[in-house]
A and B are shown apart, each in its own frame.
Chain A
Amino acid sequence: AQSVTQLDSQVPVFEEAPVELRCNYSSSVSVYLFWYVQYPNQGLQLLLKYLSGSTLVKGINGFEAEFNKSQTSFHLRKPSVHISDTAEYFCAVTPSNAGNMLTFGGGTRLMVKP
């Protein structure tokens, strides 16, 4: 079984400041990792994913994440946020030998202030 912990339920930040949203996971098998974003009253949209290869992955909207196997982390970063980045962000994992049976973290609400 897998579990995902997002350490911060809310992250307030000023516009144009950098941000890091933290994600840690536990699993007894190899996993793939994802970050999804949910804008208010919207569905989930994939930001980026790590399947294999380079541990630094780049996604849409200027986001990137780094997979750290030893620390079982997959933190999401953006060097300069915009008001439009205000949303709920979800980290998720799935066993690498399965489909998209995603296990989600509890979500982090990013609040960008002017």
Chain B
Amino acid sequence: DTAVSQTPKYLVTQMGNDKSIKCEQNLGHDTMYWYKQDSKKFLKIMFSYNNKELIINETVPNRFSPKSPDKAHLNLHINSLELGDSAVYFCASSQDPGIGRTEAFFGQGTRLTVV
């Protein structure tokens, strides 16, 4: 069974559209994250969610919004897509460090291409 799964794996869309990327983890972790990897392979944290609460929000445009219906899911909604949003988006999860530190487990990534 896949620990952290993302859908879709590839997403091609036009500028101005609104899209969502789904993420699910079956590890029982308390914290989930979204990372963005740009065309130069540079990885940067976007969001972190713990028990349905946003605990940090990096300086990303407000067109990006994470939504967590439950502890096992953290979806990424993107409004009014722009060319610069083209990247690979990775979801990750880890156990709450207050309980015990574990490493972050990453999904396979979603390659978003805005045309």
Residues of A within 8 A of B (CB): 32, 34, 36, 42-46, 49, 51, 88, 90, 92, 97-104, 106-107
Contacts and interface: CB of A to CB of B under 8 A. Distances in A.
Interface stretch (B12-20, B75-83, B89-97): B89-97
A74 B24 CA distance: 32
Contact of A43 (B45, B96, B106): B106
Interface of B: 4, 31, 33, 35, 40-45, 48, 50, 55-56, 90, 92, 94, 96-97, 101, 103-109
A12 to B, nearest CB: 17
A46 B43 contact: no
Q: What DSSP secondary structure best describes chain B's contact surface?
A: strand
Contact of A104 (B43, B48, B97, B108): B43
A34 B90 contact: no
Given A44-B43, A100-B33, 19 more contacts: A42-B109, A43-B4, A43-B90, A43-B107, A44-B90, A44-B106, A46-B105, A90-B43, A92-B43, A99-B31, A99-B48, A99-B50, A99-B97, A100-B92, A101-B33, A102-B35, A103-B45, A106-B40, A106-B42
